[in-house]
Amino acid sequence: MSGIAILAIDGPSASGKGSVAQRVAEALGFAYLDSGALYRLTALAAQEAGIDWSDEQGLAQIAQSLDVRFEKDLTFLGGQDVSGLIRSEVVGAGASKVAAFAAVRQALLARQRNFAVAPGLVADGRDMGSVVFPGARLKIFLTATATVRAERRYQQLIARGESADLVAITRDLQSRDERDAARKEAPLRQWDDALLLETSQLSLDQVVECVLSWWKTRTET
């Protein structure tokens, strides 16, 4: 990864980091890594293989052998388009459970680092700046209140034609936050070398503009 510019964006579920990271990557001409997709794929593959989300070794084996392919906005697992499946609330909850296991995180570490290609990479997740790319040139912790994040997720689901319960979504996000922050392996939190970006009152365009401005400042100094 020597000489490859990396911008790491971490934050809780539904904070908007994926949308922001994609836009920033396009603006910079960088590759993009949605690390959460790998955990969602692991959860989905395990479910299809009949492996319980509490079976750490079984999950690690699944993660190690994932047959994954990313093509623009599509995600394939074993040749099957699972772009919609991995974005379901059920798989998302499974991904949060799967991600708590050290063996799973270790199995996916090298795969994530392989996304770092010239001229640069924008990576989003929970531990991009702390574990996967500790030498990232810019690290951002992007967040919003649970209420705002739940409303955003609710609107996403409605837009996709799915049924949604705002109260249930809020409760689920709060549970994920607690689980992600309490896990022993790469807990979710803002690290000392990461800049905080609170987006509750900002539009997507405003957030992207802010990140690009910070990147310009960091790379020019």
Any domain includes 16: yes
- Which run of H or E residues covers position 96? helix 89-98
18 is in an annotated binding site: yes
- pLDDT tens digit string along 73-110? 789 999 999 999 998 889 988 998 999 899 999 999 99
Residue 221 lies in a domain: no
Q: What is the model's pLDDT at position 2? A: 59
Q: pTM (2 decimals)?
A: 0.89
Q: Per the annotation, does 97 bind a ligand?
A: no
Residue 87 is part of which domain span? 5-216
Domain presence at residue 17: yes
19 is annotated as contributing to ligand binding: yes
Asked whether residue 130 is marked as a ligand-binding residue, the answer is no
CATH of the domain at 34: 3.40.50.300
11 annotated ligand binder: yes
129 appears as a binding residue in the annotation: no
139 is in an annotated binding site: no
pLDDT tens for 104-152 read: 999 999 999 999 999 999 999 999 999 999 999 999 999 999 999 999 9
Quick check: 28 pLDDT over 80? yes
Q: d(Cα 79, Cα 130) in Å, to the nearest integer?
A: 32
